[in-house]
Structure 1
Amino acid sequence: MARIAFILLCHKDPKGVIAQARRLTASGDYVSIHFDARANPRDFESVRKALAENPSVVFAPRRWKCGWGEWSLVGATLEAVRMAVASFPLATHFYMLSGDCMPIKSAEYAHAFLDAEDCDYIENFDFFESDWIKTGFKEERLVYRHWFNERTQKWLFYTSFEVQKRLGITREVPADIQVMIGSQWWCLRRHTVEKVLEFCASRPEVLRFFETTWIPDETFFQTVVPHVVPRREIRARTLTYLVFTDYGMPVTFYNDQYDLLLGQDYLFARKISPEALRLRERLGALWAASGVHFPISNEATGLFRFLTGRGRIGRRFGQRFWETEGSLGRANTLLLVVAKKWHVAKRLTQAIRDRTEIPAVDYLFNELGAHLPDLGGVETTLEKRDRHRRALLRLLFEQFEASRMVICLDPSALHLIQDLMSDKADTRLLLIDSEFSSDYVRGHIGRVGLAGAQSAPDVVDRLVPTVRADLEHEAERLRDMDYTGFHSIAPWRNPEENAAQLARFLDVAPETALELARTEYLFSD
């Protein structure tokens, strides 16, 4: 009978990872975990401690800092695969999963399914001839070298690309390799995995090639497996069910889609909403069930295309009220930097991007350019951002593949601050106190239109005390809210005092917080 070693890549939700590992090993299978090195160290420690006594669970000895589109995802996978091969000699199949995946069949069904045919399941379509890539870079993924992360180092990513393109610096694909592409979610037999690892050991130049391609998790295994295994033994499909929206984001499944998921010809599905507790509970119990009959309809993808194509709202795949008005997710931490002097807040967020792994955007509800990634159009107007603020923020968490994120807000946006601070997510506030000189206040009066270039100086002078008092009152209103997650820094405090506040706010090491507090010209006008 098939025994599966699950290769579990995860970066958040430690309770869910622990439950997933216990569920999968209870059926006689195995789990090899790679927990992203960018994640909260306490999360990893809780997972490691909870599963330490389980002999069917192992951890990748090297933890990669993973980023979307990078080789690090392949490196992390190989690390977990090597550990699984060495630790579980009885494993017959190796199955890639993420922390967002859940079974939509029983273990009994999954084992029988894999026993029925001696083959590998991995999408592998010709990179150049197929239409698997719908938009964006295609050949450019391969013929140019990509050293930077497109989401977190956008300027470096596109600048290096443009320089190579302008200078004609291209490279050839390894001569004996036919590049293939497909979903990163595969299920491979043991001897296939062993051949892949042998290939990696004997062909370092191929690994070097893929290390600087873009999104190699969609091409590396998909290329190597058909190179080492006869094509007649490969089924060009994934056993994990997923659907993508027009924005290129995976569709999330909710509580009322249990029966729909069971009818798909797949063993697992992603992504299951972390808030769909009833669905997670039912699918978790399903894995341990026996004697369950699964009539296959495969209706979900067609139904999704039909409903979204007609623009219908509120049905199975329509936008749910909690997507626009609900929580940002209990597992996420939203860090609000509130500052009247926008240039000061932007210096801090730039320092956070430079010195930490925490994604940080600027005044996304006030300025179109706010260090936002491409979100498929949802970010194009300020009105749309504010109207769909929770959908926007949840999409940013997804896009950054992070559980923590910094955004900047103006203290005058009290309604927005109150709304976000009341969320079920771990929401914290850092107030950047400011000294408002007379010159600064005069400039502010001009920026907000209280006076124009032709206004008499004495008119502006009479406004200065009133406007300064109003600016100072904005900060006092926030203090009066008495939020639990309230922190503040100020130019009149020494760097050590500010660093203590930053360390608690960002949950970073004291030395990192001190570097941030000592950012050059941080409070300067």
Structure 2
Amino acid sequence: MAKIAYILLCHKDPEAIIRQAERLTAVGDYMSIHFDASASASLFKEIKDALKDNPNVTFAKKRIKCGWGEWSLVQATLNAVQSAVDAFPRATHFYMLSGDCMAIKSAEYTHKFLNDNDADFIESFDYFDSDWIKTGWKEERLIYRHLVNEREHKKLFYFMFEVQKRLKLERKIPEDLQIMIGSQWWCLRRETIEALLKFVRKRRDVVRFFKTTWIPDETFFQTLVRHLVAEDEIRSRTLTFLMFTDYGMPVTFYNDHYELLLSQDYLFARKISPDAADLKRRLGLLYVAQGVQFMISNEGRSLFQFLSGRGRIGRRFATRFWETESTLGRERELLIVVCKKWHVAKRVLERIRQVTNVPAIEYLFNEEDTPLPDLGGIQNTLEKRHRHRRALMRMLFDYFETDKLIICMDPANLDLLNDFAADRSVTRIMEIECQFSDDYLTGHAMRVGLAGDQTSVDTLERLLPTIRNDMVFESDRIRDAQFEHLTRMRETADVEKNADALSEFLAIPREKAHDIASTDYLFAD
């Protein structure tokens, strides 16, 4: 049976640390605490006095003053790990935590998970080939020596960097190491931890190298675990659920996130708000509970991106370089069917094909597998289709040897609509307005990853109005764009009005338009 030694790095809030230690050790697990040496001695004494009679708690034998981005964080972790190894010979796993982490599964579930998965859980991506570092320094973190704290001595930090750069004082990375990178929140087996500590004692050259790298807590353990452990025994992921905003700041969880956190495929979450008293209380009770069944839907990240992105829809005022390509052709007509319910648009398109014989292509800018002819590779990916949109459409006109072509688009593709509408060719747009039931919106949320089979009813009830409003917003943006040739079919309209819209859109006799509009299954879900 798995027994966990939690490695807790903390620097404030002794009351919360004491409660966390008592909670996690109440079921027989262990904890080794490193309390930052730069914090008040009285706060540390408060923690030690409160936990001195708990045999499952130990402390790092030497406290370190920790600074962001420097070796001190790694050394503090090593000190706490060594204390845990010495104090708890029965510990099978070592799990890194911070003071604002909390368990989002029961101890029973956590132990079973680790028993069933004999592996080390640590993000470990190739430092140079992966895109883990989104912006800023990459190679510079390693090949130059960083001797002072960047946040405390910013001018000196960058002055020393520039001097090394000008004098070409680059250093070599240890030849036998493949540098890896990832989150510092890991869970490692005892044999891995013991091998790592032995390696640290033996390879002082490696320690010296990492001591003067920048942000080594993202590379030290990640590199050594990959160096010491077979690849098939490493799961390159963290068991701690954490997310970041667009500004690189950790997302904080509050009282109303309880059900969302429980449904994620993780054992802990970071960061829990200090003010989320009810969330802390419920998660604390959960950890010691027995027989709890967890329904994993794992939609947290996609849900956050969707909800936080609603306020980030802006407009751009300059054309991108690929939009300067020549016109589709003055004599050509591009007809665009816009509809959120893709199956409805596809049915309308099929009926249009049958009645008019006009070439029609479904959601080529939304679905990778839309059937397209071989156009020399430009059609291979959605990214290429978007980037070379006008070139793609010209080639399709040429392929079908036609001056009239119909395509489908999602209402979210306003940039494409604006681009094609600005062309010298004739662009006609027909929006199909549909009704959206709660069942449909739930299915849509599942299809796009905002919800899963196990998403709670409470979460869906809060999510569905946002999705509905988002669809209304997309339709409003199309109206606000004031396209010159815009018609609209409506699920709620009668056949005669929809026939009028189709006749205008397709420039066909009304009898043919009526034939299409009268199809009884067009709007069926």
Provide the TM-score with structure 2 as the length reference. Answer: 0.59
Deviations 1:19-55 (A, max 9, x none): 0000011010000000000112211110011001111
Alpha-carbon distance in structure 1 between the residues aligned to 2:137 and 2:44: 35
The aligned counterpart of 2:100 is 100
Correspondence 1:76-475 to 2 at 5 A:
76-311=76-311
Alpha-carbon distance in structure 1 between the residues aligned to 2:150 and 2:251: 22
Deviations 1:336-371 (A, max 9, x none): xxxxxxxxxxxxxxxxxxxxxxxxxxxxxxxxxxxx
Structure 2 residue identity aligned to 1:103: A
Q: State, as a whole percentage, how many aligned pairs show the same letter.
A: 68
Structure 2 residue identity aligned to 1:44: F
Task: State the secondary structure of the residue aligned to 2:24.
Answer: helix
Structure 2 residue identity aligned to 1:2: A
Q: Offset of 1:312 from its aligned partner?
A: 7.4
Q: Does 2:26 correspond to 1:33? A: no
Alpha-carbon distance in structure 2 between the residues aligned to 1:253 and 1:117: 28
Task: State the secondary structure of the residue aligned to 1:34.
Answer: strand
Correspondence 1:50-65 to 2 at 5 A:
50-65=50-65
Task: State the secondary structure of the residue aligned to 1:67.
Answer: coil
Structure 2 residue identity aligned to 1:96: M
Q: Offset of 1:226 from its aligned partner?
A: 1.0
Q: Offset of 1:167 from its aligned partner?
A: 1.0
Task: State the secondary structure of the residue aligned to 1:63.
Answer: coil
Task: State the secondary structure of the residue aligned to 2:7.
Answer: strand
Structure 2 residue identity aligned to 1:203: R
Alpha-carbon distance in structure 2 between the residues aligned to 1:197 and 1:174: 18
Structure 2 residue identity aligned to 1:43: L
Alpha-carbon distance in structure 2 between the residues aligned to 1:241 and 1:168: 41
Task: State the secondary structure of the residue aligned to 2:245.
Answer: coil
Alpha-carbon distance in structure 2 between the residues aligned to 1:177 and 1:310: 43
Deviations 1:183-238 (A, max 9, x none): 00000000000000010011000000000000000000000001111111000000
Q: Offset of 1:78 from its aligned partner?
A: 0.2
Task: State the secondary structure of the residue aligned to 1:311.
Answer: helix
Deviations 1:441-464 (A, max 9, x none): xxxxxxxxxxxxxxxxxxxxxxxx
Task: State the secondary structure of the residue aligned to 1:289.
Answer: coil
Unaligned ranges ≥5, structure 1:
314-525
Deviations 1:485-521 (A, max 9, x none): xxxxxxxxxxxxxxxxxxxxxxxxxxxxxxxxxxxxx
Alpha-carbon distance in structure 2 between the residues aligned to 1:286 and 1:292: 8
Alpha-carbon distance in structure 1 between the residues aligned to 2:175 and 2:121: 26
Deviations 1:47-104 (A, max 9, x none): 0110011110000010000000010000000000000001100000000000000000
Structure 2 residue identity aligned to 1:129: D
Task: State the secondary structure of the residue aligned to 1:9.
Answer: strand
Q: Offset of 1:248 from its aligned partner?
A: 1.0
Deviations 1:138-173 (A, max 9, x none): 100001110111111111111111111111110010
Query: Structure 2 vs 1, CA of residues 250 and 55 (structure 1 numbering), >3 Å: closer, same or farther?
Result: same
Alpha-carbon distance in structure 2 between the residues aligned to 1:97 and 1:305: 25
Alpha-carbon distance in structure 1 between the residues aligned to 2:207 and 2:304: 38
Structure 2 residue identity aligned to 1:277: A
Deviations 1:382-414 (A, max 9, x none): xxxxxxxxxxxxxxxxxxxxxxxxxxxxxxxxx
Moved over 6 A (4+): none
The aligned counterpart of 2:44 is 44
Correspondence 1:507-522 to 2 at 5 A:
none
Deviations 1:304-325 (A, max 9, x none): 1112222179xxxxxxxxxxxx
Task: State the secondary structure of the residue aligned to 2:8.
Answer: strand
Alpha-carbon distance in structure 2 between the residues aligned to 1:117 and 1:101: 22
- Give the number of equivalent residue pairs: 313
Q: Does 2:10 correspond to 1:10? A: yes
Alpha-carbon distance in structure 1 between the residues aligned to 2:72 and 2:176: 24
Alpha-carbon distance in structure 2 between the residues aligned to 1:157 and 1:304: 36
Task: State the secondary structure of the residue aligned to 1:178.
Answer: coil
Alpha-carbon distance in structure 2 between the residues aligned to 1:259 and 1:117: 25
Structure 1 residue identity aligned to 2:37: A
The aligned counterpart of 1:73 is 73
Alpha-carbon distance in structure 2 between the residues aligned to 1:121 and 1:198: 20
Alpha-carbon distance in structure 2 between the residues aligned to 1:20 and 1:79: 20
Alpha-carbon distance in structure 1 between the residues aligned to 2:216 and 2:22: 30
Alpha-carbon distance in structure 1 between the residues aligned to 2:234 and 2:46: 38
Alpha-carbon distance in structure 2 between the residues aligned to 1:58 and 1:76: 14
Task: State the secondary structure of the residue aligned to 2:175.
Answer: coil
Q: Offset of 1:114 from its aligned partner?
A: 0.1
Alpha-carbon distance in structure 1 between the residues aligned to 2:197 and 2:273: 34
Alpha-carbon distance in structure 2 between the residues aligned to 1:41 and 1:271: 25
Alpha-carbon distance in structure 2 between the residues aligned to 1:312 and 1:91: 47
Structure 2 residue identity aligned to 1:304: F
The CA RMSD measured in Å over matched residues stands at 1.0
Structure 1 residue identity aligned to 2:6: F
Query: Structure 2 vs 1, CA of residues 73 and 101 (structure 1 numbering), >3 Å: closer, same or farther?
Result: same
Structure 2 residue identity aligned to 1:69: G
Structure 2 residue identity aligned to 1:194: E
Alpha-carbon distance in structure 2 between the residues aligned to 1:282 and 1:7: 23
Structure 1 residue identity aligned to 2:239: L
Alpha-carbon distance in structure 2 between the residues aligned to 1:160 and 1:308: 39
Alpha-carbon distance in structure 1 between the residues aligned to 2:155 and 2:246: 25
